[in-house]
Amino acid sequence: MHAKAAALVHAVASNHGFADGNKRTAVYLVELLIRRSGYRLTPTDPELTDVVLQVANRAISKEGLTQWFRPRIVRAAPDDAGTAHRSPT
């Protein structure tokens, strides 16, 4: 899951597929992927936003992002599955 999350964020945030909103899209998609896979993210919105900015600025590699996600993606409790996503900033 960690490598999949990192690959998704890295691809969307650093390749600039859209004229605007690439970082917001990366945050939304990774939260959706993680939640739908039965996990949840533990960092705060500002922490997640900061790491996505680092990816967009090429200050962190895909491998570094994978390591960043390792302690921050945890199994969701059964009642957490399918809950609404956090609002991307």
Which tokens hold the place of 37? 């896979």
* pLDDT tens-digit map of 21-61: 999 999 999 999 999 999 999 999 999 999 999 999 999 99
pTM for the predicted model, two decimal places: 0.83
CATH number of the structural domain 2-77? 1.20.120.1870
Q: Taking Cα atoms as reference points, which of 8, 35, 34, 12 lies closest to residue 23?
A: 12
* 87 DSSP assignment: P
The C-alpha atoms of residue 24 and residue 1 are separated, in whole angstroms, by: 20
The C-alpha atoms of residue 20 and residue 22 are separated, in whole angstroms, by: 6
**What ranges do the domains of the chain cover?**
2-77
* pLDDT tens-digit map of 69-88: 999 999 998 876 555 445 44
Look at the chain and count its residues.
Answer: 89
